[in-house]
Structure 1
């Protein structure tokens, strides 16, 4: 999972900007996007670990195909489930702790059955390979938002 680890390192490098916000980019501050991304990765890996590989059955999904081909999630088109919505008061210490937890979970991905799976609200049932791709795309999506927030907060 070199790509996901690289993305987590990129997220970590942005912690110093956690309080930045720009409502023209997002209604949420950098820390919210970071915490959300980490919750998504952590919760999905836990779902994969607890899944029954025998229950996985591939099915075509237009939304998934569109996003996976473009390698991009359009902004403002999805709504995060409550289970991955972070609290409003996110501290740097909490972000660092969550990063450490998620890094440990990412290491465990390599030991899972290829048919480990979870049900995504828009993309349907995803196996391990599809999930890894989703986690990369989703994390990159929020990193781009974070970068745009930071860019708009820097003096010119």
Structure 2
């Protein structure tokens, strides 16, 4: 799961400082750190969830976004807990990558109704959470690829 994405992240840790303000206010390092923080934060959320508390509800924004397979740029604001620090260290990104790989493998063993609550998409069950992580990570990889052009 996310093997290509993790390979991209690992290969581009060397470009932490690279930026292009025409593309994004964040550097490659910002997008790497943020993407990994999201994966690890979502993992902690779904791990702690109780399957009996999951309520399947229709969400139009989720349906449209998941069907299109991408997020529009610049529309959402990241919660503070997943914002990168002022100074992004190579070692910190590498460590988060190791943790993210392990966490994603662990999600497969969770109950189908364990869930992550997203501010806009609301409750996402295990399958939807995995889809969200992929969409979110790829959203930031597209931005990084533009910065690296």
Corresponding position of 2:35: 37
Assess if the C-alpha contact under 8 Å between 1:32 and 1:88 holds in 2. Answer: no
Corresponding position of 2:141: 143
TM alignment of 1:1-156, pairs within 5 A: 2=1, 4-151=2-149
Aligned residues: 149
Query: Any stretches of 5+ residues in structure 2 without a counterpart?
Result: none
TM-score normalised by L of structure 2: 0.97
> Which SS does the other structure have where 2:71 is aligned?
coil
Query: Any stretches of 5+ residues in structure 1 without a counterpart?
Result: 152-156
CA offset at residue 97 of structure 1?
0.8
CA offset at residue 63 of structure 1?
1.1
Runs of 4+ in 1 over 4 A off after TM superposition: none
CA offset at residue 6 of structure 1?
2.5
When the two chains are superposed, the root-mean-square deviation of aligned CA atoms in Å is 0.8
> Which SS does the other structure have where 1:22 is aligned?
coil
TM-score normalised by L of structure 1: 0.93
